[in-house]
Amino acid sequence: MKLSVIGAGSWGTAIVSILSKKNHVNWWVRRERLKNQILLKKRNTKYLTNCKLNTKNITFYNDIDEIILSSDLVIVAIPSEFIYSVFKNKGDLLSNKTILSAVKGVIPEKNSTPHDFFKSISPNLNYGVISGPCHAEEVALEKQSYLTVSTTNTDIHPHIKKIFNTKYIHTKTSNDIVGTEYAAILKNIYAILIGVASGLGYGDNFIAVLTTSCANEMKRLLQLLDPKERTISQPAYLGDLLVTCYSLHSRNRSLGVLIGKGYSVENAIEKMTMVAEGHPAAKSIYARVKKMKQIKQTPIISSTYNILFKEKDPKTQLKKLEKLIS
């Protein structure tokens, strides 16, 4: 099976570093200058600079059509805000390919999940999701990390484990595509609010209870969006939520901390060096829940939305949650 990775940011680089240890990988690196620097330095000089790459096992492409045609399994690891512009006219090329999305946000132009977008442009593709507590920065340092790959095509599950597993990457498979994808989107929203609480000076006790409430709200919302039996304590749900809410590597938490410390939302986003996908996701998920008439089920999503898009005072929103989660 010919593998490709679309995206040369932190997460794309981390995935390439995993796969290229024992597989040949096609890698879409759009900028020629960056590609040349990677070949020279054996590492991505812009993102994840401490991650050494086995360039002998990598073929570089800057033509998106060419790399899709040259691959059987395409791993998408670019920010959700760029998905539409890159793939909107690629439906025919993707037909009958296997797509694994490592995207943890919504497609702004369509207000949809990556699953819904890709299926809308290419109904015959095989779709899956890569998720779990697996920060790119720790992958670069070869620290123990855990992936969940969700796809209904169970025939490829053994192969997925084979290509991803290393001495420090542990891979589980699942068929809960919708649940794991939504969980990956929701945890970014929750991490922003956890960051706001931290920036405001709330202590560990409150943040622990707030994070527990986020997990409970996630469980309720997943059942509303896609009713099925799932164990929320699994790494793809609770594990990913915890690491995103607590880790200093978390860009969404970092955005929230800035807001909690008094930055306007606009200024906080400008100060960020990487995309915090929880920001547009909060607007999309809030609209979806409102359309379902289930706003009362998601007070944490609502508070995050109010802070990010309604210019509501963060202190007031957290005060309201103090009473709700007690």
| Residue where one domain finishes, among candidates 175, 206, 226 | 175
284 and 142, same structural domain? no
Average of per-residue pLDDT across 295-309 = 97
What's the pLDDT tens digit per position in 29-40? Answer: 999 999 999 999
Which domain CATH number covers 234? 1.10.1040.10
149 and 83, same structural domain? yes
Task: Give CA–CA dist 101/74, Å, rounded.
Answer: 8
Kindly tell me the burial class for residue 99, based on how many C-beta atoms sit within 10 Å of its own C-beta (0-12, 13-18, 19 or more).
Answer: buried
75 and 189, same structural domain? no
pLDDT reported for residue 289: 96
| Residue where one domain finishes, among candidates 159, 175, 191 | 175
160 and 93, same structural domain? yes
Cβ-Cβ contacts under 8 Å for 168 (sequence gap 6 or more)? 139, 142, 143, 144, 145
Q: Which domain holds residue 232?
A: 178-325
pTM of the model: 0.94
Which of 62, 144, 151, 146 shows the shortest CA–CA distance to 101? 151
Task: Give CA–CA dist 183/190, Å, rounded.
Answer: 10
Task: Give CA–CA dist 112/74, Å, rounded.
Answer: 20
112 and 200, same structural domain? no
Q: What's the number of domains the chain is made of?
A: 2
192 and 303, same structural domain? yes
CB atoms within 10 A of CB 298: 24
32 and 7, same structural domain? yes
Task: Identify any residues that bridge with 216 across adjacent strands, giving them in sequence order.
Answer: none
79 and 16, same structural domain? yes
Question: Of the residues 35, 97, 104, 187, which is catalytic?
Answer: 187
156 and 23, same structural domain? yes
Task: Give CA–CA dist 197/83, Å, rounded.
Answer: 31
Is 88 tagged catalytic? Answer: no
Residue 326 has pLDDT above 80, yes or no: no
| Residue where one domain finishes, among candidates 175, 195, 223 | 175
What's the pLDDT tens digit per position in 239-261? Answer: 999 999 999 989 999 999 999 99
Tokens of 260: 């909690």
